[in-house]
Structure 1
Amino acid sequence: MKIAMLAAEYPPKWGGIGVHAFNLSNALANDGHEVHVITRKEKDKPPAQPKGVKIHTVDWLKVPLWFILSYGKNALKKVEELSNEKFDVLHQHSPLIALKREWYDKINLPLVSTMHGTWYMERKSLEKEPLSALGVNDLAIRFFSRKFEKYEKLAIERSNKVITISNHCVMELEKFYSARREIELVPNGVDTTMFVPPTEEERHILRKKIIEKYKLPENAKMILYVGRFAGRKGIIYLVQSLAMLRKRYPNAFLIMMGKYGRYISKLEAEGNHLGVRNAMLFSIGLPMKELLEHYKACDVFALPSTYEGQGIVLLEAMSSGLPCVATNVGGIPDMFDGKNGLLVPLGDVQALSESIEKLITDEDYWYKVSKASRDTAVCKYDWSIIAKRVLDVYKKAIM
């Protein structure tokens, strides 16, 4: 099959949608299909991919949120330019693309839209945050995303098939956009050959390396967070739970990995107020080698988000055999069955602290959760499995 894929976010522009589109394209190509990815033009080059993946870039207006219109218009032009390729299906990744009603009229291919979330929930998750803590992209979402909700509804109405990534997202689409059509549930996947559990020897070596990097005591218990430094990630609850935890376990430390964001200053202020700033460690940037090492060496992965469509970083941690503690919100509960990780109520700092404590103090339990996490990733979320499910949706759209 020959697929045209519209993804505004794509490596070297990493992010939830970018990771999804990149891995889906690779998995489809490895299965013998040809994927033409149409994405935004960036300075850096994308990483190496299979021969079956071809990258086409387009110009875009570099204005937060509004870029999705300029990208959408130019991406469709590129599809028209590539008409000789005779694509079987067009696949767009929403909400980072906006197509006007008249633009849909020009599409003469079966259209599949993956809805990775909604602007409504993105905005809702930011409403309680002080403006001073929000970056320029979050400010744009907070004040202007209502203008773009109509494009999500259009995508649902004009697509032959609609995919979304979790049961919660299905409910969102039905509630906010009155989506009365059948919605295909296909979750995010994970590269289980890249994110792998360490051997005991490897874990020992990597723990020593990271402990030396951050100048931690040898008996340090390391809690890992990976993601954006933004209010909706609930990191403030993690800092507060660290303060509770260190009253009993002063060897507990919080390592936070992600791109720099203004929200860091709020986290530092909270850490100073609670007396745990020295136990908070920031690793700015996400080099893949370091990310893999942290997943293998740390003791617990925590994601206390106020909203997640699903949470790719949770899949990465699970595939690496790193036990997870996460909030019971959005699409997160879909991934956990009571044996492969721990869920806590949103904003419940004590429950978050107690769940982390259970994992860092009970070695037998840690190993059970670690194995169950890895098994879940391999059996349910490997990209080869997810790609076959997406391919089935393509076939339905073409019928």
Structure 2
Amino acid sequence: MSDVTAGRLKVLLVCHYYPPHLGGIENVVHAEAKHLTAAGVEVTVLTSGNRNSVTDEAGVRVVRVRAWNGLERKADVPFPILGPKLLRRAVKWARWADVVHIHDAFYLTSWAALTAAKLTRTPVVATQHVTLVHHASAAVGLVQKAVYATAGRMLMRTARTVFTLNSDVAAFARGLGARPELMQHLPNGVDTELFRPVRDAVEQAAVRERLGLPQDRVLVLFAGRFMPNKGFDMLLAANDPAYGLVFAGGPEEALTEALARGVAGAGGGDSVIYLGSLGSADMAAAYRACDIFALPSMAEGFPLTVQEAMSSGIAVVTTDLSGYAAYDLDRDRVSLVHRDTETLRVRLREIAADSEVRGQMGKYAREYAVERFAWPDHASRLIETYRSAIRPGKSTADRG
């Protein structure tokens, strides 16, 4: 056993949602739990659920507190309202843990876990995933600001380490009081075996047939929530006869409404295909079935879908945001474009028309992902940080 994995750490991971609920943060936490467990860490996840339960899921203890998800269904705000058992369970598992690792400051699970950690004097590590998220509702924006100014500020000032994914989120965390010397840049990991390049044209044809996709077109994939900040409507408007658009995610109603408004650009609504919300295996197949990944988002910097697309070896087109600066990407091989419909359409047409360029972009993307986004390396960084948080300068074995 290596120095990194020696000892039996007990870690409480905290996340508002967890699979089978689909989403970026919950996928990250699920992967962290899996790889930490493989490295010898005892992991408990505190999250929301349809009922109160404690289950063993592939060696990970998952503690679910019953929650109401009406805000997600009715207002497209992924904010579960958890039941009265939340704080009690948070205190129980914070007392059990050596370290509490809270993912994002915005959610009730995070507030309860932070309170529980303070009550039990358990050290806290935080990962801040996003800045303020654009939403059509001004009220939602005000609530975000209020939450981050209070609970967010408390978490950033309490955590012994704050992980951030890009320079924008780092600046946001510093603005909430995170101390620069306690902050670390830590990209999300990717399962580079699951999210792999298509082997050949025969495999791609088979995957397209299984997913009901056309065989005779260059296909551009969008994956994620159909929200304005993700840019799904801009991609629809950039539709063109030179390529077909494939959408994976939801909610379906948002895509249907956009198509009904005639947003589908020159390609028309008939060239738009909706795959639904996909699990990891089917999502990996969707990347292999397509030729280009496009995400014209407003305020993200290296979201998980871009990493998955790169690991899958397809060309990537996304918005030129400052959050990508820390990653030192070759801009000839990952296309970072100005965020407007015509620029997006022109760039997609250029890439769609040149299979050699697509191949070069895909090869670079795959090599970059394998080198930079391996989950075992990510887990090792976490373990080292947890040990430092427990007792700075000491390993778990030194705790007696």
| TM-score, normalised with respect to structure 1 | 0.83
Tell me what 1:28 maps to.
Answer: 36
Secondary structure at the residue paired with 1:270? coil
Query: Where in structure 2 are the equivalents of 1:219-238 lying within 5 Å?
Result: 219-238=216-235
Contact residue 197 and residue 321 of structure 1 kept, 8 A? yes
Quote the offset at 1:49 in angstroms.
Answer: 4.6
Distance 2:127 2:320 in 1: 23
Quote the offset at 1:45 in angstroms.
Answer: 9.8
Tell me what 1:88 maps to.
Answer: 98
Q: For the structure 1 residues 363 and 274, does the alpha-carbon distance in structure 2 shift closer, same or farther, using more than 3 Å as the test?
A: closer
Q: In structure 1, which of residues 251, 255, 259 is the aligned counterpart of residue 250 of structure 2? A: 259
Q: In structure 1, which of residues 295, 300, 319 is the aligned counterpart of residue 287 of structure 2? A: 295
Secondary structure at the residue paired with 1:99? helix
Distance 2:364 2:265 in 1: 37
Secondary structure at the residue paired with 1:105? helix
Quote the offset at 1:197 in angstroms.
Answer: 1.1
Quote the offset at 1:312 in angstroms.
Answer: 0.6
Tell me what 2:334 maps to.
Answer: 341
Tell me what 1:148 maps to.
Answer: 147
Query: Where in structure 2 are the equivalents of 1:339-378 lying within 5 Å?
Result: 339-347=332-340, 349-378=341-370
Q: For the structure 1 residues 140 and 194, does the alpha-carbon distance in structure 2 shift closer, same or farther, using more than 3 Å as the test?
A: farther
Secondary structure at the residue paired with 1:194? coil
Tell me what 2:162 maps to.
Answer: 162
Q: For the structure 1 residues 289 and 179, does the alpha-carbon distance in structure 2 shift closer, same or farther, using more than 3 Å as the test?
A: closer
Quote the offset at 1:159 in angstroms.
Answer: 1.5
Q: For the structure 1 residues 47 and 278, does the alpha-carbon distance in structure 2 shift closer, same or farther, using more than 3 Å as the test?
A: farther
| TM-score, normalised with respect to structure 2 | 0.83
Distance 2:101 2:267 in 1: 49
Tell me what 2:74 maps to.
Answer: none
Query: Where in structure 2 are the equivalents of 1:57-96 lying within 5 Å?
Result: 57-62=64-69, 64=71, 70=82, 74-82=85-93, 85=96, 87-94=97-104, 95-96=106-107
Secondary structure at the residue paired with 1:106? helix
Deviations 1:94-142 (A, max 9, x none): 1334427865531311111111113xx21xx22xx4x6xxxxxxx7633
Q: In structure 2, which of residues 257, 261, 278 is the aligned counterpart of residue 269 of structure 1? A: 261
Tell me what 1:111 maps to.
Answer: 124
Distance 1:332 1:270 in 2: 32
Deviations 1:72-94 (A, max 9, x none): x8445224334774x22111111
Distance 1:13 1:93 in 2: 16
Query: 2:251 is aligned with what amino acid?
Result: Y
Tell me what 2:18 maps to.
Answer: 10
Contact residue 228 and residue 261 of structure 1 kept, 8 A? no
Query: 1:226 is aligned with what amino acid?
Result: A
Contact residue 14 and residue 110 of structure 2 kept, 8 A? no
Q: For the structure 1 residues 206 and 83, does the alpha-carbon distance in structure 2 shift closer, same or farther, using more than 3 Å as the test?
A: closer
Contact residue 30 and residue 50 of structure 1 kept, 8 A? no
Secondary structure at the residue paired with 1:350? helix
Contact residue 22 and residue 279 of structure 2 kept, 8 A? no
Tell me what 1:171 maps to.
Answer: 171
Deviating more after overlay: 335-344 vs 94-103: 94-103
Deviations 1:11-35 (A, max 9, x none): 1122111001000111111111111
Q: For the structure 1 residues 102 and 93, does the alpha-carbon distance in structure 2 shift closer, same or farther, using more than 3 Å as the test?
A: closer
Q: For the structure 1 residues 7 and 330, does the alpha-carbon distance in structure 2 shift closer, same or farther, using more than 3 Å as the test?
A: farther
Mapped pair 1:281 → 2:273: yes
Distance 2:55 2:119 in 1: 32
Deviations 1:227-280 (A, max 9, x none): 11111111222122224xx2xx3xx21111112254321244233675611112
Deviating more after overlay: 99-108 vs 316-325: 99-108
Query: Where in structure 2 are the equivalents of 1:381-396 lying within 5 Å?
Result: 381-396=373-388
Contact residue 255 and residue 282 of structure 1 kept, 8 A? yes
Distance 1:241 1:67 in 2: 31
Q: Which runs of 5+ in 2 are unaligned?
A: 1-8, 72-76, 393-400
Quote the offset at 1:170 in angstroms.
Answer: 0.5
Quote the offset at 1:47 in angstroms.
Answer: 11
Deviations 1:139-178 (A, max 9, x none): 763353233121111101112221112122101222x424
Quote the offset at 1:359 in angstroms.
Answer: 2.2
Query: 1:235 is aligned with what amino acid?
Result: F
Contact residue 10 and residue 39 of structure 1 kept, 8 A? yes
Query: Where in structure 2 are the equivalents of 1:317-336 lying within 5 Å?
Result: 317-329=309-321, 331-335=323-327, 336=329
Deviations 1:347-378 (A, max 9, x none): 2x233223222322222221111111111111
Identity %: 24
Tell me what 1:99 maps to.
Answer: 111
Q: For the structure 1 residues 66 and 380, does the alpha-carbon distance in structure 2 shift closer, same or farther, using more than 3 Å as the test?
A: closer
Distance 2:22 2:53 in 1: 12
Q: CA RMSD in A?
A: 2.9
Quote the offset at 1:340 in angstroms.
Answer: 3.8
Contact residue 224 and residue 301 of structure 1 kept, 8 A? yes
Paired residue total:
370
